[in-house]
Amino acid sequence: MAPNCDTSQTVVRSETWEYPGDKRLRMSKPSDDARGQLNSSWVVIFIKGICMGAADAVPGVSGGTIALITGIYERLIAAVTAISPGRIMAVLGGVVPERRGDAIAALKKMDVGFLIALGAGIAVSVTSITRVMHIGINTYPVLTFGFFFGLIAASAWVLFTEVEVNTPGRIGAAIAGFVFAFVASGQAGTSLGTGLPVTVLAGAIAVSAMILPGISGSLLLILLGQYEYMSGALKSFVDGLLGLVVGGSTTPVTESGLIVVAFMLGAVIGLFTIAHAVRWALEHHRKPTLAFLVALIVGALRAPVAKTGENLAELGRVWTTEAYAIFAAMAIVGAGAVLLVDRYAGLAEINDDTIDDETGDETTPSGGLD
Which pLDDT does position 322 carry in this prediction? 93
CA-to-CA distance for 229 and 167, rounded, in angstroms?
39
Closest CA to 314 of 142, 181, 191: 142
Q: Give start and end residues of each alpha helix (H) in 209-320.
A: 217-223, 227-245, 251-272, 274-284, 286-299, 302-314
Over the chain, what is the mean pLDDT? 78
- Choice among 10-14, 39-43, 51-55, 275-279 with the minimum mean pLDDT: 10-14
The pLDDT-based confidence of 32 (bands split at 50, 70, 90) is: very low
- pLDDT tens for 258-271 read 999 999 999 888 87
Cα–Cα distances (Å) from 228 to 145, 200, 346, 370, in that order, read: 11, 15, 32, 38
For 215: left if phi > 0, alpha if psi spans -120 to 50, otherwise beta; the answer is beta
What are 318-325's contacts with CB under 8 Å, separation 24+?
323/142
Which pLDDT does position 5 carry in this prediction? 55
Residue 36 has pLDDT above 60, yes or no: no
- This prediction's pTM: 0.70
Q: Could you tell me if 146 and 304 are in contact, meaning their C-beta atoms sit under 8 angstroms apart?
A: yes
Residue 233 has pLDDT above 80, yes or no: yes
- Choice among 4-13, 246-255, 344-353 with the minimum mean pLDDT: 4-13
Q: Could you tell me if 301 and 116 are in contact, meaning their C-beta atoms sit under 8 angstroms apart?
A: no
For 150: left if phi > 0, alpha if psi spans -120 to 50, otherwise beta; the answer is alpha
Which pLDDT does position 188 carry in this prediction? 54
Q: How many CA atoms lie within 13 A of 32 on its CB side?
A: 0
Where do the domains of the chain lie?
14-363
- pLDDT tens for 275-317 read 777 778 878 888 898 888 888 888 888 888 888 888 888 888 8
